[in-house]
Amino acid sequence: MAAPDPLDTFRRRAVRHAFEDGTIDLVLGLYTLMVGVATQRPVFLALSTVYLVLMRTGWRFLNMSVAGRRTGYAELPVDPPAPLLSVILLAGLLTMGVVAGLTLFGGRLWSLNHWPAWMPLVSGATLAAGFVNTAAQSGLVRYRALALLCVGVSVFFWLFPFGPRINPSDRLTLSLFVTAALLLASGAVALVRFLKARPVVAVEDGHAG
């Protein structure tokens, strides 16, 4: 059996280190909320690309403020939140692209009469795939749980008989809102646990003694 590559082991630990404080989940939750709002106003999806860059910058600040003073900082080739932020954007773009094609084929772009109720499955499956990949890279169980919850949320908003007050587009938006809430809750719990387990490291005065 081949020995594990020390570089792969180091990279995995570095990724886990970047995710363990929960700040990524908070940023992902806010971004998912923005993409959810954009599903009601498709023109806003273009702005989501700009928000993606801002979210990456915001995460760096949060991570350095929270984890930098406690566990230090490990430089990675790619910003850890970038792949998941891209997956969230893809979930919005892919679902709205499918809706655009189906409704246009039906005769009128964005017509609710031809908007499929199963669109939450598309976004949910996309997000779940991203979380499964993150779990594999970081070894953090909470992302496996988030993947399962995404699937459950998408199935619920596809099948539950809400009645006429909730139209098919609302089903997609609400599923993303619930996913955003799950991410924010996950981030808050992880952050509290991290702050309790990792006190601020005191900087020793090199001139002392």
- Distance between CA atoms of residues 136 and 144, nearest Å: 9
Residue 208, domain member (yes or no):
no
Residue 205, domain member (yes or no):
no
Q: Which two tokens stand for residue 138?
A: 């970081």
Residue 18, domain member (yes or no):
yes
Q: Which amino acid is at 183?
A: L
Residue 75, domain member (yes or no):
yes
Residue 204, domain member (yes or no):
no
pLDDT for res 184: 96
pLDDT for res 48: 80
Residue 154, domain member (yes or no):
yes
pLDDT for res 52: 83
Give the number of domains in the chain: 1
pLDDT for res 171: 93
pLDDT for res 209: 42
- Mean pLDDT per 10-residue segment, the chain (209 residues): 56 75 90 90 78 82 72 62 88 88 78 83 95 90 95 96 88 95 95 81 50
Angle at 74 between CA 71 and CA 78, to 5 degrees: 140
Residue 97, domain member (yes or no):
yes
Domain around 127: 6-197
Residue 55, domain member (yes or no):
yes
